[in-house]
Amino acid sequence: MCHVPSWIKKGKYVLFLTDKDVKQHRIPIHDATGHSAVNDVFKPNGGTPGEGLNSRTPKVIRDAIESGQMDRMMGAGNVVISGGGKWSLPVAKLGDDLYIDRKAVVTMPNLKKILDGLYVQKGATLIAPLLSSVGGKIEINGKLVAPKLKVVA
C-alpha cells in the first residue's frame, strides 16, 4: 500500500487526489491512496512519483491536507510523517498505521481513533488530545501527548 498522500509531479504540475476527486471518479477509498489511482484519473504518461508527509511534500498537497480536503483518504492508508517539520492534521480517524519519524512535530486536534498501529520515533512528537483508541501495536520512543489514551505497559 502506498502512503498517504501519493502524488505524481509532471513538469510544473503536481497531480494528486482529494476526497472530492475520489467521490467524483467513484474510486473505492482504499484504492485511492496510491499512485495507480492518480495515474488512472490524470493519465500523466510519466512523471516523478512521491508519497508521505515530509520536506518534499508539495505545498499544494500540504494545504489540501491541513484544510481537511483529504480526511477520508488519510483515514484509509498508512500515514508516514518523516524528515521533521511541523504538521497540523485535522483528521479524526486513521484506518491504518501512523508513523511519526525524525523530529516531526504533529498536532492532530481531532484524532480520536487509530485502527492499526501508532509509532512515534525518537525525537518526534505527537499531540493528540482526543486520542483514546489504538487498535494495533503502540511504540513510543519520542513524545506522546494524548491524555485520553490508556497505554498498558
Contact 6, 61 (CB under 8 A): no
Shared-domain flag, residues 40 and 100: no
Shared-domain flag, residues 105 and 41: no
Shared-domain flag, residues 94 and 40: no
Residue where one domain finishes, among candidates 48, 76, 104: 76
Residue where one domain finishes, among candidates 76, 96, 117: 76
* Residue 10 grid coordinates: 509532471
- pLDDT bucket at 153, cuts 50 / 70 / 90: low
Instruction: Look up the domain containing 70 and give its range.
Output: 1-76
Shared-domain flag, residues 150 and 91: yes
- 3-49, pLDDT tens digit by residue? 888 999 999 999 999 999 999 999 998 888 889 999 999 999 999 99
Contact 75, 95 (CB under 8 A): yes
Shared-domain flag, residues 63 and 19: yes
Residue where one domain finishes, among candidates 39, 56, 76: 76
Q: Exposed, middle or buried, 151 (CB in 10 Å: 0-12/13-18/19+)?
A: exposed
- 15-26, pLDDT tens digit by residue? 999 999 999 999
Number of domains in the chain: 2
Predicted pLDDT at 59 = 94
- What is the pTM for the complete model shown? 0.89
- pLDDT bucket at 76, cuts 50 / 70 / 90: confident
